[in-house]
Amino acid sequence: MDKKLKLEIYRKMLLSRRLEERIAELIKAGQAGGFMHPGVGQEALQVAAIAALRPDDYLLYAHRGVAYWVARGIPIEKILCDLAGKEGGTNHGKGGVMRVVYPQLGVLGESGTLGGCFPIAAGAGLSIRVKGEDKVVLCFFGDGTSNRGTFHEALNLCAVRKLPVVFLCENNGWAVSTPTEKSTAVKDIAMRAAGYNVPGKTVDGNDPEAVYDAVKEAVDRARQGNGPSLLEGKTYRLWGHWVGDPEDYRSREEVEKHWRSDPLPRFEEKLAGEKILTEKIKAEFEAEAMATIDRAVEFSRSQPHPKPESALDDVFA
Amino acid sequence: MRKITYAEAIREALIEEMRRDPSVILYGEDVANFGGIFRVSAGLKDMFGDERVFDSPISENALVGGGVGAALTGLRPVVELQFADFLFTAGDEVVLKAGMWRYGHGGAYAIPLVVRCPSGATGVGPEHGQCPEAFFMHAPGLKIVSPSNPADAKGLLKSAIRDNNPVLYFEHKLLYATRGEVPEGEDVLVPLGKAAIAREGDDLTLVAISAMVPKALKAAKRLAAEGHSVEVIDPRSLVPFDRETIIESVKKTGKIVVAEESYKTLGVGAEIGAMLMEQALEYLDRPLRRVAIPDVPIPTAAVLEAFVLPNEEKIYQACRELLA
Ligand SMILES: Cc1ncc(C[n+]2csc(CCOP(=O)(O)OP(=O)(O)O)c2C)c(N)n1
């Protein structure tokens, strides 16, 4: 990973973190509804993986936070408009912040039911193959979601048809209140790759370089027509499942322990040590993130609500 | 009489039935440690232990299908889906397995399964807010109940658990916190298939389902102030369906409005309309009116959601139109 890319990943991780923080403030102040599942702690995995894509590749993000969209380059003001259910976003109030969509950058949307993503990813891979393109599909999902039956069907289909799909599990140790070891028979989700005869790899999901390298390798493989891969990044959900989650199912000690491997300061220190990130650049990134978010919040406030009768639009093409 | 919430009533029914019958088990995503994402089953794991109350993987097909298998072999499982919408996720197991296994095997087995389905729009968009009862009314072999108040929530759940057939139990999320009188006593049941007359009246029959019942009662009160006597009927069970109570009411009023939080086409109102065409046409002196969601998915933004959802005002207006 070159210096420029490292800084870009750091900048987007920081912007995502600040945006999550602002969104949580807005929700707590009753200024935003939405159905937001914060991704704090998982930004390294999300941003670094998406950095391995080309702009014309397809992306199916998961429900965990904003960093996927920030990483892909979806304008922040659009995300906030979707959160507020306003015009000016990506889905005209139809789907809220959980259905941010951006066809220009291959962002296909989100399944409200977990596991709906897998067959859709396979289908996008099928389309790439049939059209003879060299695009790739990146499909994110949580460890809990990997227990849906659709996971099995889609992986097998992708494997037998050699479809260009990279499945990337964000293993954050929890699915709402259920710890992964209570719901999932394997220690590493990537072990399941053996069942589909595809490459499987587990990496430290809080290390952007490890994530980037693994995803890049799998993306290149898929692009060359060698079929799907199953990757997994180990990470941790530092905040609640939703904003306002009482979190009485896990101990403070556990959470505090994981704050010590928060990927943001960790990457910051690494880049500072490599003399890539200076105090000056850091301050610039902070200021830029705040200014971008302030502008986006203002923009979303200025946008109108959708017209009530527009609820009837968009059913059929 | 003591008052408890709808959520407490459900919890009480679960506790009583689990005490009464060791073959009753409860499982689903986050039901044990967390007590369910709506906290309805809080504490049950400590009361009954991990063998009978447990957290499952996110595997809706295995949840419902597992319930069918356990029911075939002597348990009375209560399976919780986190949202009623996930009935579609587990569609094969719900419609083709729970609904048809017994019939296809010539009645060889009974399937005493309850699937708890939190329903209702709460600003969370197309896949987490439906009241999909009508989809499953179309599927043979499934009983369906939708309680509108705490007493029915308790009594119907107890009946559902004791019933020897698969029952989809729809608990409306916006009713969880509502309070009402609930009689005590382990054997106070509400029978499946018996409607309740929530308010008596002579001028118009207003059938309302689940969370539409309190809204219908408010509309009826407004209409009463204007001199109209509206009879509000709460079917409570959609399968089996108490046709008699509705037909008797229509004989008296000659007018009917149906309010439901589901899509209009082929909804509960459509079935009631067809039933009246077949069995009570001569008593109707005005056309049937349905208050339902126009045939669009439920949007997320509040202004859009409010536009499509039925509410007290829309119910009131539909009644006014027929009473004019
Ligand atoms: C089919 C389905 N089942 C259940 C849910 C409710 N639900 C939303 S997020 C979630 C937990 C998901 O866990 P995981 O996949 O590990 O992702 P995480 O939330 O930990 O990021 C659940 C159970 C859903 N949306 N869809």
Say yes or no for a CB contact (<8 Å) between A177 and B125: no
Domain ranges in chain A?
Answer: 3-300
Cis peptide before B240 (omega within 30 of 0): yes
Tokens of A232: 């997994």
Q: How far apart are CA A227 and CA A196, in angstroms?
A: 11
Token pair belonging to A129? 């193959």
Does the pLDDT at position A31 exceed 90? Answer: no
Three-state SS annotation for chain A: CCHHHHHHHHHHHHHHHHHHHHHHHHHHCCCCCCCCECCCCCHHHHHHHHCCCCCCCEEECCCECCHHHHHHCCCHHHHHHHHHCCCCCCCCCCCHHHHCCEHHHCECCCCCCCCCHHHHHHHHHHHHHHHCCCCCEEEEEECHHHHCHHHHHHHHHHHHHCCCEEEEEEECCEECCEEHHHHCCCCCHHHHHHHHCCCEEEEECCCHHHHHHHHHHHHHHHHCCCCCEEEEEECCCCCCCCCCCCCCCCCHHHHHHHHCCCHHHHHHHHHHHCCCCCHHHHHHHHHHHHHHHHHHHHHHHHCCCCCHHHHHCCCCC
Residue A165: phi and psi, rounded to 5, are -125, 130
Res. A56: pLDDT tops 70:
yes
Give the integer Cα–Cα distance in Å for A193 and A201: 8
pLDDT at A248: 94
Instruction: Give the mean pLDDT of chain A.
Output: 97
Q: Which residues line ligand 1 (CB under 6 A)?
A: A 37, 63-64, 113-115, 142-145, 172, 174-176, 237, 241; B 29, 58, 60, 82, 86, 89
Residues 6+ apart with CB under 8 A from A257: none
Q: Any alpha helices (H) in B107-261, and if so which ranges? A: 133-137, 150-162, 212-225, 243-253
Query: Per-domain residue ranges for chain B?
Result: 2-182, 196-323
How many Å apart are CA B206 and CA B318, to the nearest integer? 10
CATH no., domain B2-182: 3.40.50.970
Q: What is the bridge-based pairing of β-strands A174-175 and A178-179?
A: antiparallel
pTM beyond 0.90: yes
- Angle at alpha carbon of residue B263, lines to B257 and B268, rounded to 5°: 50
Instruction: Please report the pLDDT score of residue A35 as a whole number.
Output: 77
Alpha helices, H only, B254-311 = 268-279, 302-308
A23-32, A88-97, A301-310, B265-274: lowest mean pLDDT where?
Answer: A23-32
Asked, colleague to colleague, whether B2-182 and B196-323 share their fold, the answer is yes
At residue A296, φ and ψ (nearest 5 deg) are -65, -40
Q: What is the DSSP letter of A58?
A: E
Mean pLDDT within A62-89: 97
Mean local confidence (pLDDT), A244-263: 96
CA of B204 to the centre of ligand 1 (A): 45
Q: What is the pLDDT of residue B143?
A: 99
Residue A34 has pLDDT above 70, yes or no: no
Asked if pLDDT for residue A33 goes beyond 80, the answer is no
Q: In terms of CATH, what superfamily is A3-300?
A: Thiamin diphosphate (ThDP)-binding fold, Pyr/PP domains (3.40.50.970)
Grade residue A32 by pLDDT with cuts at 50, 70 and 90.
confident
Atom of ligand 1 nearest to the CA of B60: 1
Flag whether pLDDT at A46 surpasses 70.
Answer: yes
Here the tokens at position A210 are 């490890």
The class that CATH gives domain B196-323 is alpha beta
CA–chain centroid gap for B43, Å, is 24
Full pLDDT tens readout for chain B, 324 residues: 999 999 999 999 999 999 999 999 999 999 999 999 999 999 999 999 999 999 999 999 999 999 999 999 999 999 999 999 999 999 999 999 999 999 999 999 999 999 999 999 999 999 999 999 999 999 999 999 999 999 999 999 999 999 999 999 999 999 999 999 999 999 999 999 999 999 999 999 999 999 999 999 999 999 999 999 999 999 999 999 999 999 999 999 999 999 999 999 999 999 999 999 999 999 999 999 999 999 999 999 999 999 999 999 999 999 999 999
Instruction: Give the pLDDT confidence of A114-138 residue by residue, as tens digits.
Output: 999 999 999 999 999 999 999 999 9
The token duo for A161 is: 């048809």
**Portion 208-247 of A in contact with B at CB < 8 A:** none
Question: Using the 8-state DSSP alphabet, how is residue A64 labeled?
Answer: B
Please report the ipTM that was assigned to this predicted complex.
Answer: 0.96
β-strand B3-5 against B179-181: which pairing, if any? antiparallel
**Rounded to an integer, what distance in angstroms lies between the CA atom of residue B128 and that of residue A82?**
17
Gap from A166 CA to chain B (nearest CA, Å):
21
Assess contact for A229 and A198: CB atoms under 8 A.
yes
Q: Mind telling me how many Å the CA of B256 is from chain A's nearest CA?
A: 26
